[in-house]
Structures are given as structure tokens and as C-alpha cells.
Chain A
């Protein structure tokens, strides 16, 4: 810290005599000047602000850590990368390099997985929206088709009547795992017998090869024992199929929904205190399988479709302060150059925000806004941050999941996405959009050409 101390504008703080915060005043904020050893300043200089930054090192480390939680508890484990969480090709390929299969929920994602070189049989096709064309392709490629509803089952049956290949299918099962809300809009219900109905129909059709069972009990699950209940219910179906049809399924897919240690809005505790460790989830799932009636040498493959838990922590959003202002009630407001347009997840998380340069011990309560000319564009309603001035850089944490798939070019265009490779080099993995790019998709009718 030989740098000259940065100038900070003076600030006035009201002394509060109310109840003390149970956790004390938050003064532990540290500046995040480097990501994986690369100066934030350099990233902004090279790739502008805002910019998404992903760390390959953290992606791999996280993946291996979570994978280890499972493989040291259960002998046959396979991860399938959830494309909807982050389908940038570079990101997907890191997971594929690590041995992950692909889990896709649309024809578009399916195409992306194929283009990433994933063999058809390593693609799991989930979701309620699979066109006939998608299904036909999936059957041809021997992909694992997880049937969501009876209409899909009938379509698939009809398609397969005319081809000599059997479709590799599983059903998605929804169930009561003791948590609220119960996700019952996808797949077939376990308790009311829909699941068995679908199983019977599949087992009766010669062109469908039933290979597994799938469930996905929810998202950002905070109750590990729910997975145990889910696994037990799937095992019950598994054993039932074995008894009834003398048919052994190959895998049990427990879906995703594992949480990342992000701060949920409305939660009293911070993410790191609230979210159970992945080990607990692994323990619940593995013990349900190992302690079941299934003989040890016939255990099915366990597939995990985790997305968020694997990548959230490896993603950063680097932005800059556009302006400071004071609201009518006297509260400080800071306007950043990124908003809900690209940080979609700020709708449900209180993303931690760190300044990217050193600061003094003084901090201010403030509201952080995005750049949109739209009232909803709020990043943090209330956060205590050091004194920031125009042009200062900030880093939003844990933005790896869902943002670069759910972002939009509402009002402004989408920025660069940069990957810090394992050697600390910067790689542009998605170029920021340009006006030409957006316009190239548009067509102007003849009569509107001349204005």
C-alpha cells in the first residue's frame, strides 16, 4: 500500500442509539482489488465496465470439491452440467473437460451441447418443452430423455413406432419431500400414482427403453433431508420396477437445486451461515441409496444436475459508480453502471458488493441503483458501503449462476464476459453486444424505410 491515500469526500453519520445489530456494525469489508491475482483495474481497462468475470480456477476447484463430496460417499456418481445455469460455451467446456455430461431443457440448449462436442448419449434432455424435431434428434443420438408429461410420452411413442431405434427414457417424478412449496408442475406425481401410470405405459411400449428415474425437488434447497426423502421415493419406484418387470434401471437422477452460499433476500442469516454444506446433501442422498435394499454391486448410477452450487461463487460482476445522490429522505444513493438488466439475480439475492480500491474505515448506509431509467432497477435496497465516488469500481460477488443466461438488452446492451484462465490470463469468452448485432436480427418493412 505505497499508493497515495485516495481522497474521500467527507460524510456525516447520524449516531443511532437504537438496538445494536446482533452481528455488530459491519466494518469488515475489504476491498477486492484483484480477482485470481488479476487487478480489477486492468480488467476494466481492457474490457470496459461493466464486465462479467469468471474464474476458471474457482470453477474447477468448486466442481472437484462438490464432486468429491459425492464420490467419497457413493461409488458411482456422474455430474451433468445444467446448461440453463450458464451456457456460455467456454464455461460448459470446462465442465465437460472435468467429466460432466450436459443437462439441457430445450432444443436450443440441446444444439449447444452437441456443438460443444458432447456425445448424444451424454446429454440429458429435461423440461416440458421438447418439440417433435428435438425428440427425434434425441432418440437418434441415444440421449437420455426425461419425460415430463403424458403428452410427451405419447408423442415419443408415436415417433418411435417408425424408427428402429429405442428411445432411452426416464420419467421425472415430483413428490412431497416435506418442504414447502412442493414442486409439482414438472413430471409425474409419486404419491397419487401418476408416476406408476407413466412407468406402466413406458414398460408396455416396445420402443421405449426405460433407463432411469429423475426428480428435481426444488431450487436453492436449504433442507438436506428432503433429498433423502426424494431418494427413498425414487428407490421405492426403482425396486418396484425391478419386482414388477424384472427390469433393472441404470440410474437415479437427483436433479439439482443445491444452494450456493449466496445471501437470499428476506433471510435473516447470511448465506454462509444459512446454507448447509454440500456434504450434508451428499450424505443424505448417498445414505438413502446405500442403506436401501439394492445390493451393493448393483447400485445404480447417481446423476447430479447441479448448476448454481457449482458456479455461483466463480462469477463476479465488475462495475463502476456512475453517480452519487441523496434521496428525499436523506438516504445516500449510488448509481452503478450495472442493473437488473444484466444482474438478474439481484431480484432474489442481496449480492455482496465490494469496492475494488482501498478505502478508509468510514462507511455509509446507502441504496444501490442500476443505470436503467426504470424504477425497479435496484441492486441493494440498503447496504453499508465505504464512501464511493464517480468512477470507482465495485465488484458484485457470486453472480456465476443464471445471470449470463437470464440477462437482457433492456435499455442497454449486454457487456463482455471474461474468463480468467488457470494461468491468470484474461480471455474474452463473450463479446459485448453492438448496435449492429442487435440490428442485424431486425427487419424494417419496405414502407417504413423512408421516414
Chain B
């Protein structure tokens, strides 16, 4: 960890910028710059807002609060809103500045208070600190005579002139003279009101900025606002509320928050935006009426209440329904969608603890999950394994004796590292055809593999256990021999995973991490975190030492590549305080996050410029099985925003909530290996494809040679350009 004082302040500029964009749930740099400029259309408002942002972020850093939260502007944006509000309502003078400072302190406290409470429920605090902060100041300020109520809003043209001289005035007049329908005008005004800019011009600029930042956010702003507008008209409510109280922005912000930020943008999230808008409208009206007694504005309170309560409702779901919550926030609704779609494919069955099958060599699934005989109801996620010969027979000779069965007496092994929790022994093997229904599990072993993950192997040969209760076992270690005890008419092993530590517990659906299956004797296929099916011949695929160590990017490890024989590129493997591991490019600061569970290496995300060697390394090794099987292919899906230059994306962005016509895919092929006894060299070839509608096109092609526990050679084929990189061996 670096020393505190200097590095803490590094994040300051970023914190300030994000404090602006975070109002719209964004961390987009250009969007932030535009918002800053926009607030300065009214220089006083802009000034107080900016000051508030500076103050709160400085205060947060000074107090040593969480760097990540500061950096994301999450402390800043509420103070910004308070600052903008105070600037808008009061005359600029020294007392206001002082008041601003204390208001900022208060906002920070409220923010942290809410953060502490709401985070426990996984909920955001949104702009509640702003609402409470501004209310407090407004209520108190009635006693503060030094503050003068601003009248600038009344003479807007004067101010415009002061800032932009004639140009702004001309634009303003032009916009005013245009016969824009009142609905659209109100939309722009409402949008501007978010930044306390109560005019059409700001609204137009903001709308354009929103469109550039995110297409989905833009259409959501329209959807939210116009649904509300329609609802007001239909119910005959007072439209002036929307026109003059500037509360239309509640609908816009709610639509963006629920339609694309906290929830994955889809027809479901859009649907909920439409359903919740009337709720929001009713709440707005009632709150307005309630608060008018205290002479307080509702500001963004309705938005806060609706969004937070709806998110809370969603958290109470006990089954997976739509709309889905965004699991890893990208701060772009489009990206949220693309990542969601690709993750859906990527991590469909992915689990952190890789579980193999409890045997050596090739076995056969005689009963799979939801099987015909015993794998039913609560015990449906289980497998029965036997050995069969080339003619699909389980036995030689007549099959009258248990010894005739190929699997009888064969070693049963640990499916993963773990600890023996229970062993049941002493039940005699049945004769072939007979079953022991009173002790139906027969001799069994139960192994704990982690928190609430247990595997059970049953029908073991009596007196064949080679381990005892309490032993720690390693993956692949021999535990006992396959037998015919319990409810077992012919020798086989029963294998199941469960979440409770008892023999015979309910089964748990859990995939097998890495295996080869063979059907019709020859068609081999490769499975990753998949579920073996009845009738398959299966073999565990072990991780190869070469692959395991090559992709073991231990924090602190340094990697140097020589690109095209002239440029040195240095990377360092690191881990952040949240134990997320990544490779960082020293020069550009780009980061490629990865995970490795011993069976599989995969990159989870990439942050940084898309022209670095690390970027291509990220794509080339997007997902790598840490073993070798010639000619086998591995496929995966890449979120399209991770590719550069994929052409005009706006149409896809607009359609993203409903349909994806542009897809990016990843294919890895194990082409060649050297070393007969142990793997000494592996050649990998990977491709990144871009698919538009039905048309597929290869975007990048990579060749890698792995040797001496390193990616020795890395070749990038980017269109006609070929880049060659070789790893430089540093003496350790």
C-alpha cells in the first residue's frame, strides 16, 4: 500500500468530474465536462455547485473516506445538487458561501448515514442526501437574514448576455420563437431543471449530451417523461405542475435509473418504467401537497422513493424473474446490457469450486439427472456411473457375479480437494440383481469441498475405504473401491452434490468442471462446467502443469514483451483490496481483470486503451482451459463494447434493450503440442469474430506458443497488420 497523503489527492480531478456525471449515473469524462459547462450558463449556480463539489471531495479525502466512493463521485453529486440549489435560490454573497460550506458538511454526513443504512440492503442512496440537505438549509435560512432570495431567474436574458453575450441570447430567442410543442418544451425544461437550469436551451444541450453519452439513457428519458405527460393528460391532472414546478425530471431520472442503470435494459425494464410512472406521478402530487404546508419543494424525493422501494421489492424475489438487476455496474446502460448478455452465456453454469468426477479413466453415465429409476424429485441432480466396453456391455462373461462388472473394485477418487465428513461402511455387497432397500445408500463417503458444498459417493465396496473421517483429501486421490452395496442391483457408483453435510441429503444442481465426453465411440467433445447426460462416456480432463503455471499470474509477477523486436512492454500482475486480480500495463495503466480456478483461466473485464498489447492479450486469452486436448475448441461470447471500431453502434445501442444483432464471439483452438510425457509446448490459436445479423467476420486472429511456463510468442493478426511479440525472460 502506498503512503496516504500524496496518492489520495490523485483522485481529486476524477472525483470532481464524476460528481457531475454521476447525477445521470455516468462516469463518462466528456459528459462530465459538458455538464460542468452547462451549469455555468448561470454562473452563480455553476459557481456554487462547483465550489460544493470541491469542498465535499476535499473534505472526504481529508477525512480519509473510501477512495473508490470518492473517485466515483458518489459523495460529490449530492453536494453538487445542494450547491446548485443554493446558488439558484439565493443571492451570491459571503454568508451564502459560508452556508454552502456547512451545508456541504451536513450533506456529507447525511450521505454517509444513508450509505451505512442502505448499503446493508444493497440499495443506493441516490439523491436523498441532497433532498434532506437542501430542505434543512431552506427551512433554517428563513431565520438567516443575511441571505437574499435570488431574483435572477426572472431576468434570464440578462444573465445569458453576461455569459455569452449576444450569441446565447440569439439562440435562446431562436428556441423560444420556434413553435416547439409545449410537451417537448416542458421535457427540455425538466431536463435542465436537474441542474437547476430552468430553461429550454440547457435542456436541449443536456438532451444532446445524454444522447451522446448513452442512447438508451436518452430514449429512457423520453419514455419516462412522455409516459408521465400522457398520464397527466389522461387523468386530467394539473399540467402546470409539470410546466412550472420543474418536477418532470423525477420521471426522467427514474426512467434512466430503473430502465437501464440498476436493471438490465430490456422490454421488462422498459415495461416497469411505464408501469411505475403513474405511481411516481401520484406520489409527486401527494408529496407536493403535503410539503407545501412546510413551504418545501418535493425536488427529487418522489424519484428517490420509487426507485429505492422498487429495487428493494426486487431484492425480495426468491426466484429468478425479469427484469434482472445489473450485477457488475459499467455506468453505461448499453454496456450493462451487452455484458449481461455475454455473461449469461459465459457464466451460465460457472462455479468457483471446480468439481471433477470421482473416478479415473473412462466411465459411462448409466443414470443421469432426472433419471428413470432413482434420480427423482429432491434427489434428481445425481449421476450413476459404470464402466462399459466397446459393445456397451457393463460386464464380461455372464454378468452373474459382481466381479464380472468392469467397474466393480475400481478405485473411486476425490472429485475435488476437501475433507472427509462422514463415512458409512460395513454394508455387504448385494448379489447381482438384488437390492438393499433398508440401507439404500450402501457404503458411502461424504466430502466437504467448501462452504455448503458436499459431495457424496455411494454403493462402495465394504471395507475398501482408504481414508477415514476427518482426513483431508486431494483431488484425484483414491478413496475406496466401487462396490454393490445399498440400493444397487448391479455394481455402480452414485455421485451427487449437496449443500448439507448428511449422507442422503437433497441433491444440488452443480456442474462438473472439465471433462471429455464420447458418444458413438468417436465424437469427442469438451465440456466446461456442464452437466453429464445419461448415455455419455466420460473422462476427467486434468489440468496440465504447463498450462497451470503459465496462467498463474501471481500478484507481483512481472511480464515483459518485446513487440516487433523493438518496443518493450511491461506488465505487472496485481490484486486490489477486493481480491480482484488483474494484469496492469505499466505504460498505459490499462487493466485486464482475470480469474483462475485451477481448471480455467478467464479474463473478466478490460479497462483502458484498446490499442495496447495487453488489450490483445486479454482478447486472445479470454477463456483458456488449463489442459491440452488437441483440436478441441472453446467458445465464448464477448460484450461488443469491448471491441474497438465495430462500426456505427448507435442503432444497436437503441435496439439493445430488445434485440442484439451485433455479436462478438471468441473461439480458442488447441492446435499443437510438444512433449510426449509431459506437455512441454502448446500452440493456441484464438479468434475474435464480429457478427452483424447473419454475417460473420473475423476481427482478430491470435497465435500463441506456450513454453517454459510462459506465453513465449504472441502474434496478433489485425486485418492486414501483423504484430509479433516475444516474451523477454528476466532473470529472477
B390 near A73 with CB under 8 A, answer no
Tell whether A68 pairs with B360 under 8 Å between CB atoms, given A75-B542, A297-B476, A301-B677: no
Chain B: number of interface residues, binned into ranges: 20 to 34
B599 CB to nearest chain A CB (Å): 13
Q: Which residue of B360, B477, B540 has the most chain A CB atoms within 10 A of its CB atom?
A: B360
Report the nearest B residue to A298, measured CB to CB: B545
Q: Which residue of A78, A119, A290 has the most chain B CB atoms within 10 A of its CB atom?
A: A290
B476 near A60 with CB under 8 A, answer no
The answer to whether the Cβ of A61 comes within 8 Å of any Cβ in the partner chain is yes
A72 near B389 with CB under 8 A, answer no
**Neighbour of B476 across the interface among A75, A119, A122, CB < 8 A:** A75
Q: Which residue of B387, B389, B410, B477 has the most chain A CB atoms within 10 A of its CB atom?
A: B410
**Neighbour of B387 across the interface among A68, A78, A251, A301, CB < 8 A:** A68
For chain A, the count of residues having a C-beta within 8 Å of the partner chain is 29
**Neighbour of B360 across the interface among A74, A279, A301, CB < 8 A:** A74
**Neighbour of A64 across the interface among B359, B390, B410, B475, CB < 8 A:** B390
| Bound Cα distance A283, B409 (Å) | 9
B603 CB to nearest chain A CB (Å): 25
The answer to whether the Cβ of B49 comes within 8 Å of any Cβ in the partner chain is no
The answer to whether the Cβ of B411 comes within 8 Å of any Cβ in the partner chain is yes
B389 near A296 with CB under 8 A, answer no
The answer to whether the Cβ of B401 comes within 8 Å of any Cβ in the partner chain is no
Report the nearest A residue to B391, measured CB to CB: A61
**Neighbour of A250 across the interface among B362, B477, B540, B677, CB < 8 A:** B677
Q: Which residue of B363, B406, B540 has the most chain A CB atoms within 10 A of its CB atom?
A: B406
Residues of chain A within 8 A (CB-CB) of B540 are: 75
Q: Which residue of B359, B466, B476, B676 has the most chain A CB atoms within 10 A of its CB atom?
A: B676
The answer to whether the Cβ of A121 comes within 8 Å of any Cβ in the partner chain is yes
| Bound Cα distance A283, B476 (Å) | 16
Report the nearest B residue to A212, measured CB to CB: B677
Residues of chain B within 8 A (CB-CB) of A73 are: 360-361, 410-411
Report the nearest B residue to A279, measured CB to CB: B409
Residues of chain B within 8 A (CB-CB) of A121 are: 675-676
The answer to whether the Cβ of B478 comes within 8 Å of any Cβ in the partner chain is yes
The answer to whether the Cβ of A295 comes within 8 Å of any Cβ in the partner chain is yes
B411 near A72 with CB under 8 A, answer yes
Report the nearest B residue to A249, measured CB to CB: B677
The answer to whether the Cβ of B474 comes within 8 Å of any Cβ in the partner chain is yes
Residues of chain A within 8 A (CB-CB) of B362 are: 68, 71-72
Q: Which residue of A68, A70, A101 has the most chain B CB atoms within 10 A of its CB atom?
A: A68
Chain A, range 208-264, C-beta contacts under 8 Å to B: 211-212, 250-251
| Bound Cα distance A390, B678 (Å) | 58
| Bound Cα distance A115, B666 (Å) | 39
Residues of chain A within 8 A (CB-CB) of B466 are: 291
Residues of chain B within 8 A (CB-CB) of A325 are: none
B677 CB to nearest chain A CB (Å): 4
| Bound Cα distance A75, B476 (Å) | 8
**Neighbour of B677 across the interface among A251, A291, A297, CB < 8 A:** A251
B389 near A64 with CB under 8 A, answer yes
Q: Knowing that A72-B406, A72-B407, A291-B478 are A-B contacts, what are 7 other residue pairs whose CB atoms are under 8 Å apart, sorted by A's residue number?
A: A61-B389, A64-B389, A65-B389, A71-B362, A73-B361, A75-B360, A121-B676
29 contacts across the A-B interface (CB closer than 8 A): A64-B390, A68-B361, A68-B387, A71-B362, A72-B359, A72-B360, A72-B361, A72-B362, A72-B387, A72-B406, A73-B361, A73-B411, A75-B360, A75-B476, A75-B542, A78-B677, A119-B676, A121-B675, A212-B677, A250-B678, A279-B409, A283-B409, A286-B411, A290-B411, A291-B466, A296-B474, A297-B474, A301-B677, A301-B678
Which A residues are within 8 Å of any B CB, using their own CB?
Answer: 60-61, 64-65, 68, 70-75, 78, 101, 119, 121-122, 211-212, 250-251, 279, 283, 286, 290-291, 295-297, 301
Which B residues are within 8 Å of any A CB, using their own CB?
Answer: 359-363, 387, 389-390, 406-407, 409-411, 466, 474-478, 540, 542, 675-678
